[in-house]
């Protein structure tokens, strides 16, 4: 009987020692598991991205290397770059793209809300279940964490990105960035900017459904606004669509405010703008 | 009963009996350890950004000196930036006779009224906090203008962080262990407010007594 | 009884305090004062009338415990203390379960996050969870062993038939309790294992009326979601424990009423002398049994704590995805036998004919098997049948595992071993630093990647996996695989077999690509390429790189 008492005492004491041991290593373990949880969510997010986002935003999030899901062929990227300092680097406390969009919250909130609710104007689908999309809330969270994980010291090492300040005079801009007409045609046809969606194909006037057909814009553009060359007119039309509303559009009077997206200035590179301006200015001449 | 109690005190403890007592003691210690570990287990922990935990706020969210307070709803606090010596904003922040010479700095005011727990509001037209429940009113820095609140607004612990997230300044404690306003260092990049560390406000005279307009 | 103050005046403060304390002890213990307790602890003979019997006669906590046992049943044999251990496990599960309930909400949007919160943000949370899950598996095993012991010692016979029946109910409740808890983490394992097991409900005949509605009752919706999770949570934390407690008390009352049966050899055939215990063969509850029980409680606690901490890790896969069923979905081991049977016969037959007949047979067995003798020599048929049944269950359990009759194509099986959709593998457990970007082929055990022991180990495992599913053709064969055995199928295609599988890859090329995808995450891709041995222009598997997994630096697969 005494043996049982001794065994019982030893068992309780050993249990206490083991619990003490577990307690001591617990804070470090919790830290590792906290990191592990986020890491695994990012892994899951990478899969969501690959299956849903890569065909528009690019395999590596740079709006390059987009492949058609069904055929595997390479296609033009319809989405904007995500793996960029504009979105991810905090420079002086708010990433550039958040400032452009007037977003007052966090990066996480910005990415999660755009993923979940979509942006119908620019073609970004609605993904979140709460808004009728196919992804569950945890999948939206996972892919958001994945995108944010593209932020690294290397990515943000350079100077913080600044919005290109478009000069008022197109000649100043063309002096810095000479344009190429052939490249400009490619910009016009680029599905990312979707010019053809409203202004149609150049060789088919009937295909312009919403905006004016542009096959003669090199001549007409010089006559729209007094004192503006065709280049200046085209340049301002792209950057500030509401500066001048054309009276006639294919489906009736042109809408005011303009139906043309107002954010090309944020989305286009200086080179693309120059190419497009010289290309359009060459039409009709 | 009494006879049994008497014979009890004369007999010594046998080894077998003693072993039982040791076992009993080990069970008591085990139970004590269990209870302590259970409390550790059951006490909730809060991550950054959860009320009860810390909130990191970049300094560009701070209000200007003596400007109306900035709301941080998740953290349930107002951020205030006061300077009683600054002529601008005197309608919101002013000095009375028993205030220190200068009240200046940043503070994080808990949004819960110190009377009975309602959420007071900032009333721009009156340039003060007012509680809808029983009419307590507070100055921009949280000191009571009118009762029935019993003390000035409670505050959370506040530290300033530099670009490497190192702590470069903290709010000091006053005589009654209350949090005082913190001067913001020039190289501060963000503030960290710890909503798990709240200190009571002080009990000073009502400000309305200085203006003779207490209700 | 004089008041305290009167006693103080009479005999002084110290003496009065001792007397008062003594009174309190006697009231709390329902009949034993300090002297009685000390005498008990010392091993002295009790005074008359025996105070150690009073807690059993008059007290609440001990009224259902017998005041003495027959000494023959207090040793390890014949009970192995399994009934006691079953009760201990129920108490263990209840306590650890309540602790987990502090941090868990049964809602699909939050349940999975709550699990990770418990494991990463609650101190000792992983330990409590592991203790609960390990305890559940131990409890199922202990209850089953208790049933086996009761059968073997013939303790189900008259007058204990009803005790057996309630015990069978308790076994079923234990299984359903364990199973209902399985769903709660709301990960892929939970969701699909329970979906598969419950799918039989839909088939309840007539399917359109009974089956359809039964499915809705059980799942709260046509498939598992918020309704189902809440229902199973309610079952798991309230309804089933309540039922278990009720049946436990009936069961235990009967156990005490008839007494624990003696070892078969100790009694005459057909006799039941469990309640007629001669004075010299009594072991009293106080202090001997209670000492024993406390000691076993301490040992069981120690074993469960140490086991949960060092030898067990409750798994947590990825978030439940109702649209994607991962490969190799398995039932928990104690239900694997049902999955095995379902591979052989239709679910209607198994769920509504076979299992009910088996259950009825088990429940009513003591009313059918009415032989008088409990001796092993007289029960050879019964004991043999039970051994055969156990063997049958073990084989059924194995049949329930993915190795039996569930096979995809060989490249998918190899991929599943290396980068499974859910769960662990040698490759995943390789430390992140060893996953150096590059292209790697399976390595034989005498080869290595210089300076990278961990990756070498994973590539050896790749090699072993390939060996199971690859072969080398007799003509123009290549690769370190065993020779193919070829068989022409009816349609003219060739089936390549090796000693492990009947569907092997002939002369395969396989490689592992490691690519740095983000600064702290790599992408692991497995590629396969198999040329048709009969025609070099035809590919049986054409550069198939569809098996991949992302591996984050912090994911900690090494530890969990």
* Predicted confidence (pLDDT) per residue in A177-221, tens digit: 998 999 999 889 887 788 888 899 999 888 888 889 999 999 988
CA dihedral (C450, C455, C457, C460) positive or negative: negative
pLDDT for A91: 67
Residue C311 φ then ψ, to 5°? -120, 10
Instruction: Give the C-alpha separation, C340 to B129, whole Å.
Output: 71
Residue where a domain terminates, one of A106, A132, A161: A161
Domain match, A202 and A244 both: yes
pLDDT for A92: 59
pLDDT for B2: 45
Pair type for strands C485-488 and C505-506: unpaired
CATH number at residue A96: 1.10.760.10
Instruction: Give the C-alpha separation, B136 to B147, whole Å.
Output: 5
Asked if the structure places residue A155 within a domain, the reply is: yes
Give A-chain residues touching B22 at CB under 8 angstroms.
5, 9
Q: Residues 6 to 45 of B: which have CB under 8 A from any C CB? A: 7-9, 11, 14, 16-17, 20-21, 23, 27, 37-38, 40-42, 45
Cross-chain CB nearest to B8 (options C38, C121, C128): C38
Question: Does the pLDDT at position B6 exceed 60?
Answer: no
The more confidently predicted of residues A91 and B20 is B20
pLDDT for A112: 96
Domain match, A57 and A75 both: yes
CB-based contact A15 C295, cutoff 8 Å: no
Q: In Å, how far is A5's CA from the nearest CA of chain B?
A: 6
pLDDT for C127: 98
Instruction: Give the C-alpha separation, C82 to C481, whole Å.
Output: 50
Report, as ranges of residue numbers, the positions in chain C whose pLDDT lies below 50.
Answer: none
For residue C140, count CB atoms less than 10 angstroms from its CB and return exposed for 0-12, middle for 13-18, buried for 19 or more.
buried
Asked if the structure places residue A206 within a domain, the reply is: yes
Q: What separation in angstroms does the CA of A41 have from each of A33, A55, C193, C239, C313?
A: 12, 21, 22, 35, 20
Q: In this structure, how many other beta carbons lie within 10 angstroms of the beta carbon of residue C62? A: 19
Domain match, A154 and A190 both: no
Residue where a domain terminates, one of A161, A183, A201: A161
Asked if the structure places residue A145 within a domain, the reply is: yes
Summarize pLDDT for A116-149 with one digit per residue, the tens.
Answer: 999 877 789 999 999 999 999 999 999 999 999 9
pLDDT for B11: 66
Domain match, A183 and A105 both: no
Global pTM value: 0.86
Residue C282 φ then ψ, to 5°? -100, 135
Q: In this structure, how many other beta carbons lie within 10 angstroms of the beta carbon of residue C357? A: 10
Domain match, A101 and A198 both: no
Question: Does the pLDDT at position B9 exceed 80?
Answer: no
Most distant CA pair in chain A: distance in Å?
112
Give A-chain residues touching C119 at CB under 8 angstroms.
33, 37
Asked if the structure places residue A2 within a domain, the reply is: no
CA dihedral (C414, C419, C423, C425) positive or negative: positive
Domain match, A151 and A176 both: no
Domain match, A198 and A277 both: yes
Domain match, A278 and A236 both: yes
pLDDT for C206: 79
Domain match, A181 and A237 both: yes
Cβ–Cβ contact B21 with A under 8 A: no
Contact (CB, 8 A) for C555 and C435: no
Q: What is the number of structural domains in chain A? A: 2
Domain match, A90 and A190 both: no
For residue A144, count CB atoms less than 10 angstroms from its CB and return exposed for 0-12, middle for 13-18, buried for 19 or more.
buried
Question: Does the pLDDT at position B119 exceed 80?
Answer: yes
Residue C523, SS3? strand
Residue where a domain terminates, one of A138, A161, A184: A161
Asked if the structure places residue A262 within a domain, the reply is: yes
Instruction: Give the C-alpha separation, A276 to B2, whole Å.
Output: 110
Q: In Å, how far is C432's CA from the nearest CA of chain A?
A: 12
Indicate the pLDDT class of residue B3, thresholds 50, 70 and 90. very low
In this prediction, residues A153-158 reach a mean pLDDT of 89
Summarize pLDDT for B189-206 with one digit per residue, the tens.
Answer: 899 999 999 999 999 999
CATH number at residue A175: 1.10.760
Instruction: Give the C-alpha separation, A254 to A237, whole Å.
Output: 14
Q: In Å, how far is A8's CA from the nearest CA of chain C?
A: 4
pLDDT for C405: 67
Q: What separation in angstroms does the CA of A178 have from each of A216, A232, A267, B192, C114?
A: 22, 14, 19, 49, 58
Q: Which domain holds residue A249?
A: 170-282
Dump strand ranges (E) for chain B. Answer: 54-58, 70-72, 77-83, 104-110, 121-123, 128-130, 137-138, 144-146, 155-161, 167-170, 190-199
Q: In Å, how far is A119's CA from the nearest CA of chain C?
A: 25
pLDDT for C228: 94
Domain match, A152 and A78 both: yes
Give C-chain residues touching A150 at CB under 8 angstroms.
518
Asked if the structure places residue A116 within a domain, the reply is: yes
Summarize pLDDT for A243-265 with one digit per residue, the tens.
Answer: 888 888 888 888 888 888 877 88
Indicate the pLDDT class of residue A269, thresholds 50, 70 and 90. confident
pLDDT for B4: 46
Domain match, A44 and A156 both: yes
Asked if the structure places residue A184 within a domain, the reply is: yes
pLDDT for C2: 66
pLDDT for A93: 66
Contact (CB, 8 A) for C485 and C498: yes
Task: Return the DSSP state at A260.
Answer: S
In chain C, what percentage of residues exceed pLDDT 90? 72
Task: Return the DSSP state at C540.
Answer: E
What ipTM describes this predicted complex? Answer: 0.90
């Amino acid at each position: 009987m005494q043996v049982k008492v001794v065994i019982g005492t030893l068992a309780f004491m050993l249990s206490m020692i083991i619990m003490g041991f577990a307690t001591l290593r617990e804070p470090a373990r919790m830290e590792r598991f906290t990191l592990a949880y986020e890491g695994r969510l990012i892994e899951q997010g990478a899969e969501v991205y690959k299956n849903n986002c890569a065909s528009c935003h690019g395999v590596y999030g740079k709006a390059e290397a987009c492949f058609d899901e069904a055929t595997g062929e390479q296609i033009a990227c319809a989405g904007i770059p995500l793996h960029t300092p504009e979105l991810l680097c905090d420079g002086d406390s708010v990433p550039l793209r958040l400032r452009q969009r007037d977003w007052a919250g966090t990066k996480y909130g910005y990415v999660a809300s755009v993923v979940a609710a979509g942006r119908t104007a620019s073609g970004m689908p609605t993904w979140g279940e709460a808004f009728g999309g196919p992804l569950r809330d945890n999948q939206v969270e996972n892919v958001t964490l994945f995108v944010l994980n593209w932020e690294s010291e290397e990515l943000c090492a350079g100077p913080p990105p600044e919005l290109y300040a478009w000069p008022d005079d197109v000649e100043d801009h063309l002096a810095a960035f000479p344009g190429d007409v052939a490249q400009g045609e490619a910009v016009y046809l680029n599905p990312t900017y979707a010019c053809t969606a409203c202004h149609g194909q150049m060789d088919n006037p009937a295909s312009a459904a919403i905006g004016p057909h542009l096959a003669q814009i090199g001549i007409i553009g010089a006559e729209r606004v007094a004192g503006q060359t065709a280049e200046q007119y085209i340049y301002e039309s792209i950057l500030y669509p509401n500066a001048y509303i054309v009276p006639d559009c294919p489906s009736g009077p042109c809408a005011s405010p303009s139906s043309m997206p107002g954010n090309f200035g944020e989305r286009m590179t200086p080179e693309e703008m120059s190419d497009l301006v010289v290309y359009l200015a060459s039409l009709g001449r | 009963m009494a006879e049994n109690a008497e014979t009890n005190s004369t007999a010594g403890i046998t080894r077998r009996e003693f072993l039982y007592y040791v076992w009993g003691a080990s069970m008591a210690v085990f139970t004590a350890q269990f209870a302590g570990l259970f409390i550790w287990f059951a006490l909730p922990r809060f991550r950054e950004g959860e009320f009860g935990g810390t909130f990191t706020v970049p300094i560009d969210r701070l209000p200007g000196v003596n400007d109306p307070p900035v709301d941080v709803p998740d953290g349930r606090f107002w951020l205030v930036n006061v300077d009683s010596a600054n002529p601008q904003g005197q309608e919101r922040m002013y000095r009375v006779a028993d205030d220190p010479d200068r009240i200046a700095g940043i503070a994080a005011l808990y949004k819960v009224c110190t009377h009975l727990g309602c959420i007071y509001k900032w009333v721009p037209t009156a340039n003060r906090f007012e509680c809808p429940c029983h009419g307590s009113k507070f100055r921009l820095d949280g000191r009571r203008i009118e009762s029935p609140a019993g003390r000035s607004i409670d505050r959370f612990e506040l530290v300033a962080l530099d670009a490497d997230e190192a702590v470069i300044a903290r709010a000091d404690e006053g005589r009654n262990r209350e949090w005082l306003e913190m001067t913001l260092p020039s190289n501060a990049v963000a503030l960290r407010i710890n909503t798990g560390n709240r200190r009571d406000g002080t009990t000073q005279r009502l400000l309305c007594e200085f203006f003779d307009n207490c209700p | 009884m004089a008041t305290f103050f009167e006693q103080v005046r009479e005999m002084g403060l110290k003496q009065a305090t001792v007397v008062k304390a003594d009174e309190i002890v006697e009231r709390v213990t329902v009949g034993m004062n300090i002297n009685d307790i000390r005498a008990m602890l010392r091993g002295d003979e009790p005074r008359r009338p025996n105070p150690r019997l009073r807690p059993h006669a008059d007290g609440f906590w001990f009224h259902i415990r017998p005041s003495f046992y027959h000494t023959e049943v207090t040793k390890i044999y014949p009970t192995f203390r399994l009934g006691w251990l079953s009760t201990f496990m129920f108490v263990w599960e209840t306590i650890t379960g309540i602790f987990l309930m502090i941090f868990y909400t049964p809602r699909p949007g939050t349940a999975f996050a709550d699990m990770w919160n418990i494991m990463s943000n609650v101190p000792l949370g992983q330990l409590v969870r592991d203790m609960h899950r390990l305890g559940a598996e131990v409890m199922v095993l202990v209850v089953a062993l208790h049933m086996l012991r009761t059968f073997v010692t013939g303790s189900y016979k008259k007058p204990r038939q009803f005790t057996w029946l309630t015990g069978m109910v308790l076994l079923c409740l234990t299984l359903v309790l364990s199973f209902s808890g399985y769903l709660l983490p709301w990960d892929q394992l939970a969701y699909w294992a329970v979906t598969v097991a419950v799918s039989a409900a839909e088939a309840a005949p007539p399917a359109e009326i009974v089956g359809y509605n039964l499915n809705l009752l059980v799942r709260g919706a046509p498939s598992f979601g918020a309704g189902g999770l809440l229902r199973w949570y309610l079952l798991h934390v309230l309804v089933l424990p309540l039922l278990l407690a009720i049946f436990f008390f009936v069961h235990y009352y009967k156990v005490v009423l008839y007494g624990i049966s003696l070892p078969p050899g100790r009694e005459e055939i057909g006799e039941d002398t469990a309640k007629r215990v001669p004075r010299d063969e009594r072991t009293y509850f106080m202090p001997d049994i209670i000492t024993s029980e406390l000691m076993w409680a301490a040992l069981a606690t120690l074993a469960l704590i140490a086991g949960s901490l060092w030898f067990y890790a409750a798994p947590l896969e990825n978030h439940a995805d109702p649209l994607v069923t991962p490969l190799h979905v398995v039932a928990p081991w104690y239900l694997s036998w049902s999955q095995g049977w379902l591979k052989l016969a239709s679910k209607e037959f198994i769920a509504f004919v076979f299992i009910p007949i088996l259950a009825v047979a088990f429940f009513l067995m003591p009313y059918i098997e009415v032989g008088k003798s409990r001796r092993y020599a007289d029960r050879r048929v019964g004991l043999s049948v039970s051994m055969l049944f156990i063997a049958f269950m073990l084989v059924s359990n194995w049949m329930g595992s993915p190795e039996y009759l569930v096979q995809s194509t060989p490249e998918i099986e190899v991929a599943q071993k290396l980068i499974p959709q859910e769960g662990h593998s040698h490759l995943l457990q390789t430390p992140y630093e060893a996953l150096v970007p590059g292209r790697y082929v399976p390595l034989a055990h005498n080869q290595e990647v210089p300076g990278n022991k961990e990756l070498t180990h994973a590539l050896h495992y790749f090699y072993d996996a390939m060996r199971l599913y690859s072969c080398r053709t007799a003509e123009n064969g290549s690769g370190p695989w065993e020779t193919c055995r070829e068989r022409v199928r009816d349609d003219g295609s060739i089936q390549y077999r090796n000693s492990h599988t009947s569907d092997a890859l002939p002369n395969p090329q396989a490689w592992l690509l490691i690519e740095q995808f983000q600064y702290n995450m790599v992408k692991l891709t497995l590629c396969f390429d198999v040329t048709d041995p009969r025609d070099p222009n035809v590919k049986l598997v054409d550069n198939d790189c569809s098996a991949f997994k992302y591996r984050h630096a912090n994911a900690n697969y090494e530890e969990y």
